[in-house]
Homo-oligomer: A and B are copies of this chain.
Amino acid sequence: MKISAQEEYGLRCLVQLASVTNGETLTLPQIAELEGISQSNAGKLMWLLNKSGFVKATRGTKGGYSLARPADEIYLSEVIKVLDDDEIEGHCGSYTGVLDSCVHTGDCGIRSVIVGLHEIVQNALSNVTLSQLVGTEKKVDERFHRIQRMAQ
């Protein structure tokens, strides 16, 4: 029951975008530097977040990424759903539909546990928006210092 790398870094990147002033963008190299991951890796995450409508991407000089919607309207539950393929999966098939491909036919105790946990987690995440994570993320000054150093 661990958060996946995709979920964790996807969220982190969004929080970075949520913490720049409105209208500004962050480029791939900037995001990568801020999160301590490679540019390739960041690129893959941002591509996914763009595809699923959380960020806008603009190419070319002066391009970069920005949130597609206000940070206080993006709930962590939506983000996690996308980064997690939106399935309740066990290891003998998906619990979203009917389990008929394994020995655990019909309802079983474990099924209700897995589905229950999924609901609890989703519910908790549906009470938190990106904007609530900004600021605690790290000191704003420090962030800008890093970006400025990069720009030189």
CB of A56 closer than 8 Å to a CB of B? no
**Nearest-neighbor residue (CB-CB) of A85 within chain B:** B2
Task: Tally chain A residues at the interface, Cβ within 8 Å.
Answer: 47
Whether A133 touches B117, Cβ cut-off 8 Å, given contacts A8-B90, A8-B91, A80-B1, is no
Do the beta carbons of A1 and B34 come within 8 Å of each other?
Answer: no
CB distance from A20 to the nearest CB of B (A): 15
**Nearest-neighbor residue (CB-CB) of A128 within chain B:** B113
CB of A49 closer than 8 Å to a CB of B? no
CB of A106 closer than 8 Å to a CB of B? yes
Q: How far is the CA of A138 from the CA of B11 in the complex (A)?
A: 39
Q: Among residues 107 to 133 in chain A, which have CB atoms less than 8 Å away from a CB atom of chain B?
A: 107-110, 112-114, 116-117, 120-121, 124-125, 128, 132-133
CB of A150 closer than 8 Å to a CB of B? no
Do the beta carbons of B106 and A1 come within 8 Å of each other?
Answer: no
CB of A151 closer than 8 Å to a CB of B? no
What are 16 A-B contacts with C-beta separation under 8 Å? A1-B1, A1-B7, A2-B89, A3-B90, A3-B91, A8-B90, A8-B110, A8-B114, A12-B104, A36-B104, A104-B138, A106-B138, A108-B138, A109-B135, A112-B136, A113-B125
